[in-house]
Chains A and B, each alone.
Chain A
């Protein structure tokens, strides 16, 4: 039985702007299990990144969590024997001591743009060390009694930080780590920069890695290398991954479970195989049909989803997908808001096709 690490329960995130309130995330619930990968997919603006940022208390202003809770089953990083604490992240002060320990130390994040998320004025060594000074502790034995050793933790020193940085660079497959530790981001290629991002994220041995479109800006050959690396590292350190992407191919390969989002709502969630082979929601089906599949004969037309993503200020009534839906039922879908239902064991969907109305 898999053990939960993070439970997102009915979370709503709102942005109050001049023209009104945008509900960027509306009633999203999913669970990240320890050591497993969950994929979150959806088109741009569907709220997939905002949900992840809410879990880190990193919402950009003026975003606020107005409903729901995000529960973190916190194990002591340095003393696993202590009981698991339950932390409600939504209640934490975004600048408080605890969230700052969790952010970076226990949940790490890698971003889409390796070019703009590394500070250009620091070397890779400094960038990795910065995280190490904040979050990594070295065990030292302070006393030796008959039955047990008394352990304590001290911050890493400058020399140790450099050593760990080199070791991390080597782990993520950067050639000549001894030289590259003194390189600036502009001296590295796109793939190497993304590797440095991963090195920074993993240097503090987090419990969960939030990967927000980590390979979107990369070429396929580099993407394959990075995905392999992430899988390998996940096995070796028993880490959960929240994989946010719009690429269905990537998510099919990486995730055990998938959550599909549309306009701030989750529309379907299931195990990967079941989602790809028996998609239930018309939106998921349409998404799967809209991608050109490699190896399929060329020349056919793609099944496209008609229309566009609606304006967030004027969301359609009823099901938000109904104006674009191929299985639109007049009189129902435009009036009744569908609920989150378990259509089959483990396969959840938000659609009136699976409700008796």
Chain B
């Protein structure tokens, strides 16, 4: 598995270390802070140029918060996120810049290079703006283009994502869900970004449209050398599109590895249970279902030790008291579990 070359380059373009995002819980008239929801709690990962990193987990595990915090839609509580850019260097050479240290003006500039695609193609497009306005808005804001030249760019973008020239004056309600998602993708591409954060881009789409959209994302990645952070809850979609996958549980990364390694030889019991829970589209598939009991832990009041221990079938005393360290057990295979070495877990 290790010899497989899954990414085109070793060039790390985003390096996140120890990122935390706590949301305060306020109570009473004086809005006193009585606790914190630890939505993202000490998350570290990196992203290489041209690769796709999948982020999976159940709802409320913090996968969306991770992507929103990196582009500072939320202010981070702690940590660093180094991003490779030449926007601020004097000699035009790319350098690593900590996104969390930038001021408002610099942040605006860096947003050219990081774009986002949202889950809900209906609510993420302004119904009062025509497709031309929506797709060209980033170019207007950054003042990079105007007039007929901008219109030409918009048409090129629309055609690139599989829409037609005559769509340019129409409004979002005139399009189907799959087409709206394409408009969202065209908007994300308009500033020529380096990284696109895709937040559940296909979960609102039908199967046949989902396949078209996933293929489009892969084609665009190859054409423009894009890097994706792909957030989704559908494990099969994430495996399909990602080079590497991070499994999150209650604000922490439980396991991170190349997608084949993660799906075939998981090292974390949560990954194993999650895989076994996915209904397989094969009526002859017989396998013992590992049903996780109970619900996801409450991020404002997580259990002591390993957050997963109340639902884990392999939990021992150590798991109930000590927080496991996120470590590299095999090359490029990170896991946060005390018993990762001894357990023989089953993949799919």
Contact = CB atoms under 8 A, between A and B. Distances in A.
B280 A220 contact: no
A221 B233 CA distance: 11
Interface in A281-302: 286-288, 290-302
A221 B274 contact: yes
Nearest to B202: A292
Given A190-B59, A223-B279, A305 B236 contact: no
Interface in A201-221: 219-221
Nearest to A45: B206
A161 to B, nearest CB: 27
B323 interface: no
Interface residues on B, range: 35 or more
A290 B277 contact: no
Contact of B291 (A175, A224, A250, A300): A224
B295 A189 contact: yes
Given A219-B59, A224-B289, A276-B282, A294 B206 contact: no
B279 A292 contact: no
Nearest to B56: A220
Contacts of A288: 281
A253 interface: yes
A303 interface: yes
Interface residues of A, number: 49
Contact of A293 (B58, B277, B281, B289): B281
Interface in B162-219: 176, 178-179, 206-212, 214-215, 218
Given A190-B59, A228-B289, A292-B239, A301 B218 contact: yes
Given A221-B273, A298-B260, A305 B59 contact: no
A302 B214 CA distance: 8
A252 B280 contact: yes
A14 interface: no
Contacts of A353: none
Interface string B213-240: 0110010000000000000010111011
B240 A302 contact: yes
A302 B215 contact: yes
Contacts of B295: 189, 191-192, 222
Interface in B292-348: 292-296, 347-348
A298 B257 CA distance: 13
A224 B272 CA distance: 14
A301 B215 contact: yes
A157 interface: no
**Residue of A43, A175, A224, A248 with most partner-chain B CB within 10 A:** A224
A272 interface: yes
Given A246-B206, A308-B209, A253 B279 contact: yes
Contact of A221 (B58, B207, B209): B58
Contact of B280 (A253, A273, A287): A253
A306 B277 CA distance: 31
7 contacts: A43-B208, A222-B58, A224-B277, A224-B279, A292-B237, A294-B263, A298-B242
Interface of B: 6, 58-59, 176, 178-179, 206-212, 214-215, 218, 233, 235-237, 239-243, 259-260, 263-264, 273-285, 289, 291-296, 347-348
Interface of A: 43-44, 175, 189-192, 219-225, 227-228, 246-250, 252-253, 272-273, 276-277, 286-288, 290-306, 308-309
